Chains A and B, each alone.
Chain A
Amino acid sequence: MQIVQRRPLPLRRVRLRPGGVLPILAILAVLLVLVGIRQPSFLDPPSLMSFLGRSAPVILLAAGQYFVIVSGEFDLSVGSLVTAQVVVAARLIDSDPARTWPVVLLLLAFGALVGLVNGLITTRLRVPSFITTLGMFLILVGAVYLWSDGAPKGGLSEEFRRFGRRAIEDVPLLGRVPYALLVLVVVAVLAVALMRSDFGRTLVAVGDNPRTAQLSGVRVWRTRTVAFILSGLAAAVAAILLGGYSGVSFQAGAGLEFGAITAVVLGGVALGGGRGSVVGAMLGALTLELLFALMNFYGVSGALRSTVQGAIILLAVAVSATRSSSR
């Protein structure tokens, strides 16, 4: 009886919000208008392109986090992973351009490995992902400080930094296209293609109801582990861009995990899994970045930024939560 009665609810909820990208697009549009009023030059192609390039790392992290969240888990380790990657890259490259590509490959492998470990501990040892990735956060931060004796060593080569800070200049119409933006576009296309493939459907099914997925023949643990690996890879790419853009520091990735999770939720993805799209998640990250830019233009002091950010997140999520629960 109970089960029969409870079933129709989620179905109707899905029908109410097809895709779920519309609300975030509306917020994005409002923010764009506000920015346009205050600082019309921001909307010129060159500065807009630079802005998109700067936002690329966070958007990538949001896409990675989306895979994990839609499968019903969390990844709190991405921020510390970015820090670790940047510090490791600087020490291994040690300003030697010849080592750039091997190190880039190594970083990708390292990111995938951390994701694999997170995934296996979560799925095989049945540790809640909140705890697994929290532990991984402590381990990575501790290990990276330990390895570098408390201060980052070495330096990044100009070749490595190119991805994060250089652009293809003199492009007709757009002015300049940052490499970071190209990377972002490629990853975004891959992510959307992945979510449209069988794997994407399986991933959402696992997040929606792991038991049902299991009974339909899905290897839940494998799917979730792959999601963690994707998140680790996204963190690696984000670290390469961020290291290039802002250089080496222990603060490189601080707080990015919460930023990515808020972005994903802002984009209409349900924590707990099974609902939302990767495009929404990435738009959520873009919205957050635009919000920060807007606060800069309006001269909101750095300290108050988090208050505004907190208020907006609560507001946005509250609105979407009350909408979806009012049958």
Chain B
Amino acid sequence: MSVLTLLPVRRRVPGVFVALTLTLAIGWLVVLVDGGQLFNQSTTVSLLHVAAGLGFVAVGQTLVILGGSLDLSVAYVISLSTLVAAETMNGSDGALLPAVGLALAVSAGVGLFNGLLVTRLRINAFIATLGVGLLLKGYLDSNYDGPAGATSPGLVQSLGYQRVGPVPLSFLLLLAVTGAAWFVLSRTRFGHHLVAVGGDPEVARLSGVRNDRVLVAAHVLCSLCAGLAGVYLASRLGSGAPRVGTEGLYDLESIAAVVIGGTALAGGRGGVVGTVGGVLLLASIDAIFNQLEVDAFFKQVIRGVIIIAAVAVYARRALRKAAS
């Protein structure tokens, strides 16, 4: 059963990478004609930095979406995590590990709360995570007016700006997280259960899967990933920022990246590798438009069109497959 449901995943992954390659090739040409250079050191580095931030969130989001749920609170979890990390560190290297641990623990706590609301109280995930997001927003708005705390220099130098050749350490960390998530999804019992719950909760339950536990775990992992994104952003910004998550539109963008990566919004189909493709695609479009100095608002219009078009292509393909 689970083998059958997993098969389309592997066939589907290339789609987004084809689109990514095409986008990069066309972008490279257009930028070249425009008199620029897309693949020089600085653009590549900034592209990968953008991808890393969104990537952590999107990988986590993939897990909940696969399970048929959704997390709209990630943007606030990110902001909260930057603040917890930066305020605990308060500029000293000694508090680095406890601070990161605390930030992740707080995030995991929010995830646990989300998961319990969705499973125990049976609140629709959309409303539950939106409500939790509002709770966090109120806390952030009433306690912080601007940046607070200071990230330890050690973290800034390592996670924030350290890189291997043109590849930032943070992107390597993203690859590691993605690898771990891929392993969990395709090689462990939890992963198979999660996909089964997302595919058909009733069937999963009748087959002996404990749906509630699986979904709660997925929500905790998702918030952990958002917390990690927060720690990363704190290392980039040098302090905690109470609005970084919402201003970056991390909630909606992460969902868009997941869906562009070929994961079905209804759950049960997809994977993290496609999601990273989706994240890279969004980041590349950003980088290309930056190089062409396209108006930021026009960029947003194009982004909207691309998100809809990408999903329409998947829907067509799924339809054709169903017909044949």
A residues apposed to B, CB below 8 Å: 6, 121, 125-128, 130-132, 134-139, 141-143, 145-146, 150, 258, 261-262, 265, 270-272, 301-311, 313-314, 317-318, 321-322, 325
Contact = CB atoms under 8 A, between A and B. Distances in A.
A127 B311 contact: yes
Interface string B107-133: 000000000010001111011101111
Given A141-B300, A314-B127, 15 more contacts: A127-B308, A130-B255, A131-B307, A135-B304, A138-B301, A139-B304, A142-B301, A142-B304, A261-B127, A265-B127, A272-B124, A310-B138, A311-B135, A314-B131, A322-B122
6 contacts: A125-B312, A138-B303, A142-B301, A306-B138, A310-B130, A317-B124
Nearest to B142: A303
B138 A303 contact: yes
Contacts of B300: 138-139, 141-142, 145
Contact of B127 (A142, A271, A302, A305): A271
A128 B266 contact: yes
Number of contact residues on B: which range applies?
Answer: 35 or more
A308 B300 CA distance: 32
Contacts of A125: 312, 315-316
A310 B132 contact: yes
Given A138-B307, A314-B132, A305 B117 contact: no
Contact of B141 (A138, A146, A306, A317): A306
A270 B126 CA distance: 12
A131 B311 contact: yes
A39 B192 CA distance: 57
Contact of B301 (A127, A146, A306): A146
B131 to A, nearest CB: 4
Nearest to A326: B122
A301 B143 CA distance: 11
Nearest to B113: A314
A146 B297 contact: yes
Contacts of A132: 308, 311
B133 A310 contact: yes
A134 B253 CA distance: 10
B265 interface: yes
B134 A307 contact: yes
A134 B307 contact: yes
Given A127-B308, A142-B301, A325-B122, A262 B138 contact: no
A142 B299 contact: yes
Interface in B263-290: 265-266
Contacts of A126: 312, 315-316, 318-319
A271 B124 contact: yes
Contacts of A303: 138, 141-142
B252 interface: yes
B243 interface: no
Contacts of B303: 138, 142
B117 to A, nearest CB: 7
A23 B128 CA distance: 19
Nearest to A314: B131
Given A139-B301, A303-B141, A121 B130 contact: no
B123 A321 contact: yes
Contacts of B122: 318, 321-322, 325
B297 A143 contact: yes
A26 to B, nearest CB: 19
Nearest to B307: A135
